[in-house]
Structure 1
Amino acid sequence: MATEIAVLGGGCFWCTEAVYLEVKGVTKVESGYTGGAQPNPTYEQVCSGTTGHAEVVRLEFDPDVISYRDILEIFFTIHDPTTLNRQGNDVGTQYRSVIYYQSPEQEAMARQVMAEMAHVWDAPIVTEISPAQPYFKAEDYHQNYFAQHPLQGYCAFVVEPKVTKFRKMHAARLKGQ
């Protein structure tokens, strides 16, 4: 099985990771950082907003099961791509909406899907589309965070509603369906 890579930032990586872990055809999901100049940043450094990194998820997916287009359509429905450098109460450049493309084909598809999704939102989409940059895996305690801490306040009030929304909107794309 030949997999492809997608790197997406849609606010807090706990939310994005929790959704993509449930997507049929996604074989690996990892939370991390990209888009900044400092090598091997820590969570605290990224949260300071001074490194330039975004919280992202790095997905490996089987294009024979799910297309990059489908990955992006999910992305544009599980976060608000119209708010610059914020998702809800999470504010800062580390929470920006961003797609880091891995190839010219991914860039073209990202621009196409973003244009098609513009009619869904009441405000202009501000998602950044940028070439892939060095990626750094987040600390181990961030991996699979929602599954490990479902009752933690942020998870219960922010992550869970996003996962529930995904399950309703994209039921056919759930693993096991």
Structure 2
Amino acid sequence: MSKNNLAVATFGGGCFWCTEAIFQEVAGVEKVVSGYTGGIAPGKPTYREVCSGLTGHAEVIQVTFNPEVVAYEDLLVIFMTTHDPTTLNRQGADMGSQYRSVIYYHSEEQKEIAEVVIEQIAPYFKNPIMTEVSKIGTFYEAEDYHQNYYRNNRQEGYCTVMIDPKLAKFRKMYAEKLKKSVA
């Protein structure tokens, strides 16, 4: 646990704009930051560099949450069911290792929980789960214009075509997990 009894989880499920929008609506989530991790290139990567696929970084979100309100296991289930964990290095039209499905763990306990959750939900998918479970490395916050992207750009084409349907599905599947202001 970090200070104030908050914990941190880091997930990569394709474009961070989609995952950020979903987790911002989960009760118990205090903060969601879009960024990059898991790469091999030195220094802080830029969006353009990450999109090239050459840095090895994944687009991720770092979620600060109150485990007394929402369990890490619940966050994992939400993560695994709001993107396609069965595709390798791809989410929809987005292709490349930067869009891989990955859970970055911050402790051995998180690692163990992630492995159990993946095993438990695997039978519900037609294809094998391709989600990586890796130790978190350095997390780099993405550029300012990526933060709160959906909230700041709801009328943009990508938001209406890609994010709105994902949010509608999420809200229907997890109505009991929504912040009161969203429900």
TM-score (norm 2): 0.95
Structure 1 unaligned spans of 5+: none
2:102 aligned residue (93, 98, 108): 98
Matching of residue 74 in structure 1 with residue 95 in structure 2: no
Structure 2 stretches of 5 or more lacking a match?
none
Cα deviation for residue 152 of structure 1 reads: 1.0
Cα RMSD (Å) of the superposition? 0.7
In the TM superposition, what whole-angstrom CA distance separates every residue of 1:92-132 from its partner, at most 9, and x where no partner exists? Answer: 00000000000010000000000111011100000000001
Which stretch of the first structure deviates more once superposed, 151-160 or 5-14?
A: 151-160
1:107 maps onto 2:114 in alignment: no
Which of residues 14, 22, 27 is equivalent to 2:25? 22
Runs of 4+ off more than 2 Å: none
Distance in 2 between residues matched to 1:14 and 1:23, nearest whole Å: 15
| Count of residue correspondences | 177
Q: Following the alignment from structure 1 to structure 2, what is the Cα–Cα distance between the partners of residues 85 and 164?
A: 24
Is 1:48 the counterpart of 2:52 in the alignment?
Answer: yes
Where 2:5 maps in the other structure, the secondary structure is: coil
Match of 1:12 in 2: 15
Match of 2:139 in 1: 135
| Residue 92 of structure 2 is aligned to residue 83 of structure 1 | no
1:175 pairs with one of 161, 175, 179: 179
Aligned to 2:6: 3
Q: Percent identity?
A: 55
